[in-house]
């Protein structure tokens, strides 16, 4: 069936470090892909999305490019802040990755 596989954490970084979270998908056709973020004690919120191949989604300094040839949608941020500490989920429709817990230390 359709699914996503996400790099598992936890990931601990220092402020201003580079962050990458890997996500690959399995699906028929060309689905829309999403990254959601869950801050401590809150529900999930959409971080960014891409609806077709080679699209780049971006928001709050985060970026992800929809790569059809590698069936990937990796999340990146060039310089993380303490406020980026959260759980990040890659998603395809109703299928969510396991979530990656990111902790950024000052």
Partner 1 sequence: KAGVTQTPRYLIKTRGQQVTLSCSPISGHRSVSWYQQTPGQGLQFLFEYFSETQRNKGNFPGRFSGRQFSNSRSEMNVSTLELGDSALYLCASSLAMGKSLAESYEQYFGPGTRLTVT
Within residues 82-101, the interface with partner 1 by CB under 8 A covers 89, 92-99
Within residues 8-67, the interface with partner 1 by CB under 8 A covers 27-32, 34, 36, 42-46, 49
What Å distances lie between residue 62 and 28, 65, 74, CA to CA?
27, 11, 10
Task: Give 38-41's long-range contacts (Cβ < 8 A, gap of 24+).
Answer: 38/86, 38/87, 38/88, 38/89, 38/99, 39/85, 39/86, 40/85, 40/86
> At closest approach, how far in Å is the CB of 18 from partner 1?
26
* Count of chain residues binding partner 1 (CB under 8 A): 24
> At closest approach, how far in Å is the CB of 76 from partner 1?
20
Binding residues for partner 1 (CB under 8 A): 2, 27-32, 34, 36, 42-46, 49, 89, 92-99
């Amino acid at each position: 069936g359709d699914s996503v596989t996400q790099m598992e954490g936890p990931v601990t970084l220092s402020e201003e470090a580079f962050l990458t979270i890997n996500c690959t998908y399995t699906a028929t056709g060309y689905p829309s892909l999403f990254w959601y973020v869950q801050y401590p004690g809150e529900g999930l919120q959409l971080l960014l999305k891409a609806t077709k191949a080679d699209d780049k989604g971006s928001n709050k300094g985060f970026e992800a490019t929809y790569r059809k040839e590698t069936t990937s949608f990796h999340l990146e941020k060039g310089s993380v802040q303490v406020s980026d500490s959260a759980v990040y989920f890659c998603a395809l429709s109703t299928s969510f990755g396991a979530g990656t817990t990111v902790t950024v230390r000052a």
